[in-house]
Amino acid sequence: MRIRIGSEAAIGRLAGELIVRQLREKPDSVLGLATGSTALVVYREWVRLYREGRLRFAKARSFNLDEYVGLPSHHPQSYRAYMREHLFRHVDLPEDSAMIPDGTAADPEAECRRYEAAIEACGGIDWQLLGIGRNGHIGFNEPGPCLQANTHVAELAEETRKANARFFSSPNEVPHRAITVGMGAILKARRIVLVAIGEEKAAAVRDALAGPVTTWVPASFLQLHRDVTVLLDDGAASMLPDRLREQAARIGERGDAA
């Protein structure tokens, strides 16, 4: 595991350099994408690099981690709408190559099986972008006595619903369920990049990187993966133990500490 610490701007630039390298190495990469406020830092940089001609997605495919159950794709808080607004409409990723679970499927369980099979049919995820929830969740894999390996319908923890309420007109509008890629599929990704920004994520980051591997902190399972890069700002890194801080590298303002 590689830990890199820097400003929000530096994190964005390094995340940009990492995806440039990935797509130069393998233009037809299968990308795992995330949503949320942290991912915006990454997508803004990707769009900038695309406009400069340094980044192309034309041969790539993508699979998003999750989607709310019950929200149609045109709903402003659906993750399809989020991705369209912040990435898809700005770059050359073909529309039919950008996959997101169908939150309005008549049979959500069947949709989970279909989505899992689609990922496997593409050979799995080459490069997975992740954020982390305040309770240590990844995607919508919430803390609990067990985790599901495969894509499944998840009941959202109340803490997660409260954290996401700021995106909705009312807390009551936040869905209670979501389709999410499971931890098994996430851990099969060949490369993983985890991004965390802000002091409110510090405890989750500490528990994920320095604590025991436990289902009560889903992100802690990333300790078992052989190719993980963690990008943190000073706030998110503020509770890391000294041994991890000593291993971490500082990201230059040009994003040059990969």
Residues labelled catalytic? 66, 135, 137, 142
**Three-point CA angle 210, 14, 9, nearest 5°:** 95
Cβ distance 61 to 28 under 8 Å?
Answer: yes
Cα torsion through 65, 70, 75, 79, rounded to 10: 0
Instruction: Give the start-end residues of each E strand in 94-241.
Output: 98-99, 127-130, 152-155, 177-180, 191-196, 228-232
Of 232, 204, 203, the closest CA to residue 8 belongs to 232
- CA-based nearest residue to 127, from 189, 187, 181, 83: 189
Sort 253 into a burial class: Cβ within 10 Å, 0-12 / 13-18 / 19+.
exposed
